[in-house]
Amino acid sequence: MINAGVNEKSIFILIGNGTHRPTTNNEKLELAGKDILERFPVFDHSATDNSMLIHLGENFYVNRRYLESDLKIITGMIEPHFFAGFSGGRKGVCPGIAGIESIKIFHGFEFLESPYTKPGNLENNPCHIFATEFAKRAGVDFIVNVTINKNKEITGVFSGELEKAFLAGVEFCRKTSTCYANRKYPIVITTNGGYPLDIDFYQSVKGMIAALEIIEDSGIIICVSECRDGVGSENFRKLLLEMKTPEQFMEKIKQPGCFLDVQWGVQPLVHILERARIFLISRLSKQDAELCRCVPFANIDQALSEAYNQYGENTEIAVIPDGPYTIVQMKKDKHE
């Protein structure tokens, strides 16, 4: 950038927090590194600070600093996403630096209830369509997206025009992340991919969603996820405390005009609970695990022993080592 004639003092970094809390100084250091932090200002986006948002018409609200910049470069990682199909690309703008009114739509009840809203799918996916239109309205001059392997090593770099570069990365990710099953299983073991994605239960739902494609009705999903930061945000905990039954929660959020903060974290959990029971191996207390509608276990052996008690020791199980990073499909759905 400097060699291209851009003054170093005019460059800043904007973290796409979406609705998440601001990053701490240590997190900024982990994300950007000491040298970058010392040379360039780093800002957190706030979805609820109206003074820092610009209205682009209809339901499109975007970060003011971003929109007023002359050159807009989006960075990100392309991986399977439990309702946007894939992360990366347009998601750096929406929900990354979108206003809360826009995020209410992207994370809204109707979008998340669509049968097209699932990992690995972009076709007719309302989340993908909305986020792409949002990013195009806000303007993106260039993107730099990467894919990684299970060791967190970069496997590909996809840069250039917003949609072309993103779709090239998606196709690479699809080929390296998709696995196929011949049948459904009564027991499926999954994880949330390790740190930092398994930092709390709110994030851990992503790994369980991957198992839905191959779990038998009323089966058992065994999820291994550290959850070092506990259940999640206070608002997420509040929703779980107020949820008398999954059915009651869904009835509430589908009412016109109703939108609860982080309801998009509970809604996919309800989809899982409608299909399966959750055995959870984590740092959560027994009380918190039960608040999340899970059966807690101290280790994988104990969870497997109980699952075998219910289905028999000769029961075949499926294992998804990296749930959030895996697209699971039945072989009959494979497109040649």
Q: What is the pLDDT of residue 4?
A: 67
Active-site annotation, residues: 20, 81
Torsion, Cα of 42, 45, 49, 51 (10° steps): 60
Q: What is the pLDDT of residue 20?
A: 86
- The residue count of the chain comes to 336
For the chain, give the mean pLDDT.
94
Confidence of residue 149 (pLDDT cuts 50, 70, 90): confident
CATH architecture of 182-333: Alpha-Beta Complex (3.90)
Q: What is the pLDDT of residue 151?
A: 83
What radius of gyration do the chain's Cα atoms show? 20
Confidence of residue 270 (pLDDT cuts 50, 70, 90): very high
pLDDT in tens, 114-144: 999 999 999 999 999 999 999 999 999 999 9
Q: Which amino acid is at 165?
A: A
H or E, element range at 66: helix 64-67
Q: What is the pLDDT of residue 261?
A: 86
Q: Domain segments of the chain: what residues?
A: 8-177, 182-333
Instruction: Report the pLDDT averaged over residues 105-111.
Output: 95
Q: What is the pLDDT of residue 152?
A: 83
Instruction: Report the pLDDT averaged over residues 298-326.
Output: 96
280 Cβ neighbours under 8 A, 6+ residues apart: 201, 204, 223, 225, 289, 292, 294, 295, 296, 297
Confidence of residue 1 (pLDDT cuts 50, 70, 90): low
Specify the long-range contacts of residues 42-45, CB closer than 8 Å, at least 24 apart. 42/12, 42/13, 42/14, 42/15, 43/12, 43/13, 43/14, 43/15, 44/15, 44/17, 45/14, 45/15, 45/16, 45/17, 45/18, 45/96, 45/97
Q: How far is CA 327 from the centre of its chain?
A: 13
The 10 Å Cβ neighbour count of residue 269 is 25
pLDDT in tens, 12-37: 999 999 988 899 999 999 999 999 99
Q: What is the pLDDT of residue 336?
A: 40
| Cα-based distances in Å from 240 to 218, 233, 266, 274 | 21, 11, 8, 16
Confidence of residue 6 (pLDDT cuts 50, 70, 90): confident
Q: What is the pLDDT of residue 33?
A: 93
Hey, do 8-177 and 182-333 end up sharing a CATH topology, with the first three levels equal?
no
Q: Which amino acid is at 329?
A: Q
pLDDT in tens, 178-227: 999 999 999 999 999 998 889 999 999 999 999 999 999 999 999 999 99
Confidence of residue 257 (pLDDT cuts 50, 70, 90): confident
Could you give the percent of the chain with pLDDT greater than 70? 97
pLDDT in tens, 79-100: 999 999 999 999 999 999 999 9
CATH architecture of 8-177: 3-Layer(aba) Sandwich (3.40)
Q: Are strands 154-160 and 142-148 parallel, antiparallel or unpaired?
A: antiparallel
Q: What is the pLDDT of residue 155?
A: 96
Confidence of residue 331 (pLDDT cuts 50, 70, 90): confident
Q: How many H-runs (helices) and E-runs (strands) does the chain carry? A: 13, 16
Partnered with residue 181 across adjacent β-strands are 330
Torsion, Cα of 211, 214, 215, 221 (10° steps): -30
pLDDT in tens, 178-192: 999 999 999 999 999
By the 8 A CB rule, do 121 and 80 touch?
no
Give 24's DSSP letter.
P
Which pTM value belongs to this model? 0.89
